[in-house]
Structure 1
Amino acid sequence: MNQTERRLIAFIAAAHALTHITELSYAVLLTRIQDDFGTRDVIMGALATVFGWTFGSSAIPAGFLTDRLGSRRVLVYAFAGSSVMAVLVGLSPNAWVLAATLAGLGLTIGLYHPAGLSAVAQGVSQRGIGLGFHGVAGNLGQALAPAIALGLAIAVDWRAGFFCIAGLSALLAIILSRAHLPVHGDSEVLSAEAVAEPPAQEEAATITNRLLTPLLLTYGAFVVGGIVYRGVITYLPKHLEEMVSQDFGGVFVTVALVMGAVGQLLGGWLSQGMRLERIAPVIAAAAVPALILTAMLSGALLVIASSAFVFFYFANQPVFTGLIADYTPPGAVGRSYGVSFFAGFGIGSLGGVIAGALVDTWDTEAAFWGLSVFMALVVGLSFALWALAERRRRDVNLATAVGSAP
């Protein structure tokens, strides 16, 4: 990587970290907010779904804006807006107002992913490594969220955590407004000529729509994986508080999320030298038993099992985000990431209410058993992607052999 690429990754990594600090803060503070407002578990899960739905829904317009305006400008809008909404979340007097303000916070911070991922996927020559570092920053942000939010909640009040997020978001918006983040040569947007001329090796696949089915399967994996993600990220803190330590559950969440950062690095490194469709089902299959053990165990073994699940789950993120770029034509990468993150964070936000209903009816163990079923579906979709890739490879080899025959 050259200096320009390293600088790009540094800015995007900071933005990604703050995005996930913002995203996870509600889950970390869920128990304290619930005690303050006196609401049921299913209502708290529904609030997580409201945030998740808006967080994912704004990804689609963000994708169109990214392709048109460039990543940097969209990031400025994202963090300027989230600074205002985080203040309003902290001022919410009841659950109804909190639902509205969390929705606004989700809409603004949800602009991030299409812009950030598009910048890394198109602006860094070693894409797998770049996506790995991008993912690490997100996991470190999630790992910092419990320390920041719980520390301020203990020292002051749960509302102080959102006021802190507002200040950090405003600062980052100002910094990005003065930065230059070229992702296409020296330009922040893709030229019309580049859009009009797709790479030669993709022309045949584009004409015959050979990549449409795997792209749709990848979107499907984002939906089902998003259900798992939202359920786990919302109720893992509560699960660890109940099954490990009431006072230090948040600390153990941080341990698990640090393992997610290690997983991101491994996934990014593997995706540099191996076919993505071959990696995805193997990693997804490894995550299923770890999630089942998270439902079954308690104490120190639960911390180990949940950390293993987070490791494998996030190891697949650079793989699937790389597949989106592989299956999408030039000039539409931002939009495609918008659709994928609407699928994962928007539709996938149903995981919050699904897990909340299971907790309300039974307990947190039941929620993780239920989420294990959805993780198994991700494995099935990953194997389908692998099978399609192998068939495409055989067809290409056959066509090459026929074309070279005398």
Structure 2
Amino acid sequence: MNANDRAITGFTMAGHAMVHTYELAVPILLTVWLAEFSVTSATLGTVVAVGYGLFGVGALPGGLLVDRFGSRRLIVACLFGMGSAFVLLGLLPGVAGIAVALAVWGLAASVYHPAGLTLISKGADQRGAAFAYHGMAANVGIAGGPFLTALLLVAVEWRTAVIALAVPAFVAGLAGLTVGFDETAAVDADAKTGSNDSDSDSDDDTTVPDVDSLATFVTASRGLFTAGFLTVFVLVLFNGLYYRGMLTFLPGLLSDFLDPLLAVDPAAVLGPIADSPAAAEFDLSRYLFAGLLAVGVAGQYVGGRLTDAIEPERGLAVMLTLLVVIALLFVPASGSLPTLLAVSAALGFALFGLQPLSQATIAKYSPPAYRGLSFGYTYLAIFGIGALGASLAGAALTYGSQTTLFVMLATFEATALGLAVWLIVRDE
């Protein structure tokens, strides 16, 4: 990597880690909220889906803003906004307060993916490596967020914990104001050599006008939604339903699965503080959840490297196949500790190994000039519409069973797999 690549990669790694630290702190907090408030999984799943939904819905206007104002400003605003949201989460009362604070977080976080991914795709020469490290940083947040949240919940009550979690975002935002890089270095280099990173559906449209009105937005959207991009859009939508439905209630599911398998006395683990209030908050499944998600770091790295080695649709199809199988095996594998750990580790690897391949596929089927808009649309699908996965998962657990949930998730990913296969076939 050259100096510009390193600066962009480091900046986006910090932002990506923060986004997913907060995103995956919520499932841990959900286990506390279910105990503290007299509400069902379906109700809290819907409350959480509000914030997660805005996380996705805001990606589309965020993508427009990226194409108009650049990535740095939006990423810095995202960091300050997320920190402020978690301060509100610690201060506002009741389930309604949780909904409001998570909505603020969702709106602030929503601009990150179109901003960060556009910055890498337009600024980094070694895009595959940058996507890999960027994805690995996400998994530092994905695993570190739950782990840090669990540790804080042992020491302090949850409202104090979430305010403490807000501090790193403010620090990262201040640091982001000083880092220097060229946001369009890779596109400028491509223009000089005449190369183009999009597929045959996407014109090399580097002279198109800014999307600064409804008319240009409609025109840009029409140009973007080729048959290939539309297929990618629907594909990532179903993967988003799987992602959100799987992770939102995973800590609670792991606790249910582990209780009959692990004869662990909290007093033996906590020692001298076994009789303290902190002991009541100790839940081994929270730490196992964080550890299993940490496996995703390896998945992100492998997925990112694969984007430089094979066509991304093919890698995507492999990961989607694994995720279908994993969903179908999860409940049967919960009967013993070794098989449960194995299927959970496989989930972490495949779920996050898919992400760089998905991002590279989005870039392939969209023109560079509207790359921010393309990521805005696709992250609207992944995190906006995909947020319904949390509500659907809560409903499946409230009115059905664990098996109902995992069969539903397998169906989502099987649909995405079919679309990935169609992309491969049409390219041959």
* TM-score normalized by the length of structure 2: 0.85
Partner of residue 85, structure 2: 85
| Shift in CA distance, 233/201, structure 1 to aligned 2, threshold 3 Å | closer
Partner of residue 268, structure 1: 304
* TM-score normalized by the length of structure 1: 0.89
The structure 1 residue matched to 2:385, chosen from 347, 359, 368, is: 347
Query: In structure 1, how many angstroms separate the alpha carbons of the residues matched to 2:200 and 2:360?
Result: 20
Partner of residue 301, structure 1: 339
Residue identity in the other structure for 1:292:
L
| Shift of residue 288, structure 1, vs aligned partner | 1.3
| Shift in CA distance, 339/248, structure 1 to aligned 2, threshold 3 Å | same
Provide, for residues 12-60 of structure 1, a one-character-per-residue CA deviation record: whole Å limited to 9, x for no partner: 1111011000111111111111212221110111122111111101111
Residue identity in the other structure for 1:275:
E
Query: In structure 1, how many angstroms separate the alpha carbons of the residues matched to 2:175 and 2:201?
Result: 41
Query: In structure 2, how many angstroms separate the alpha carbons of the residues matched to 1:139 and 1:115?
Result: 18
Query: In structure 1, how many angstroms separate the alpha carbons of the residues matched to 2:344 and 2:200?
Result: 44
Partner of residue 70, structure 1: 70
The reply to whether residue 104 of structure 1 matches residue 104 of structure 2 is yes
The structure 1 residue matched to 2:246, chosen from 215, 232, 238, is: 232
Partner of residue 226, structure 2: 212
| Shift in CA distance, 154/278, structure 1 to aligned 2, threshold 3 Å | same
Partner of residue 44, structure 2: 44
| Shift in CA distance, 123/48, structure 1 to aligned 2, threshold 3 Å | same
1:170-319 equivalent positions in 2, closer than 5 A: 170-185=170-185, 205-206=201-202, 212-245=226-259, 247-298=283-334, 299-319=337-357
| Shift in CA distance, 157/120, structure 1 to aligned 2, threshold 3 Å | same
Q: How many residues align?
A: 385
Partner of residue 133, structure 1: 133
Residue identity in the other structure for 1:290:
I
| Shift of residue 85, structure 1, vs aligned partner | 1.4
Q: Which runs of 5+ in 1 are unaligned?
A: 391-406
Pick which of 341-350 and 254-263 moved more. Answer: 254-263
Residue identity in the other structure for 1:222:
V
| Shift in CA distance, 151/175, structure 1 to aligned 2, threshold 3 Å | same
3-state DSSP class of the match of 1:183? coil
Query: In structure 2, how many angstroms separate the alpha carbons of the residues matched to 1:210 and 1:347?
Result: 19
| Shift of residue 220, structure 1, vs aligned partner | 0.7
| Shift of residue 67, structure 1, vs aligned partner | 1.1
| Shift of residue 278, structure 1, vs aligned partner | 2.1
| Shift in CA distance, 386/94, structure 1 to aligned 2, threshold 3 Å | same
3-state DSSP class of the match of 1:371? helix
| Shift of residue 334, structure 1, vs aligned partner | 0.9
Partner of residue 278, structure 2: none
Query: In structure 1, how many angstroms separate the alpha carbons of the residues matched to 2:202 and 2:327?
Result: 38
Partner of residue 411, structure 2: 373
Residue identity in the other structure for 2:28:
V
| Shift in CA distance, 280/25, structure 1 to aligned 2, threshold 3 Å | same
Query: In structure 2, how many angstroms separate the alpha carbons of the residues matched to 1:18 and 1:204?
Result: 36
Pick which of 277-286 and 316-325 moved more. Answer: 277-286
Pick which of 209-218 and 138-147 moved more. Answer: 209-218
| Shift in CA distance, 108/304, structure 1 to aligned 2, threshold 3 Å | same
Query: In structure 1, how many angstroms separate the alpha carbons of the residues matched to 2:46 and 2:154?
Result: 25
Partner of residue 146, structure 1: 146
Query: In structure 2, how many angstroms separate the alpha carbons of the residues matched to 1:250 and 1:15?
Result: 24
| Shift of residue 204, structure 1, vs aligned partner | 6.5
Residue identity in the other structure for 2:333:
L
The structure 2 residue matched to 1:335, chosen from 373, 385, 410, is: 373
Residue identity in the other structure for 2:55:
F
- Counting aligned pairs with the same residue, the percent is 31
| Shift in CA distance, 251/204, structure 1 to aligned 2, threshold 3 Å | closer
Whether contact under 8 Å (2:86, 2:105) holds in the other structure is: yes
Residue identity in the other structure for 1:224:
F
Could you say what the CA RMSD is over the residues aligned between the two structures, in angstroms? 2.4
| Shift in CA distance, 354/198, structure 1 to aligned 2, threshold 3 Å | farther
Whether contact under 8 Å (1:239, 1:365) holds in the other structure is: no
Residue identity in the other structure for 2:402:
T
3-state DSSP class of the match of 2:182? coil
Whether contact under 8 Å (2:5, 2:126) holds in the other structure is: no
Query: In structure 2, how many angstroms separate the alpha carbons of the residues matched to 1:13 and 1:337?
Result: 17
The reply to whether residue 363 of structure 1 matches residue 406 of structure 2 is no
Provide, for residues 201-257 of structure 1, a one-character-per-residue CA deviation record: whole Å limited to 9, x for no partner: 869644697981111111111110000000111011111011114821112212221
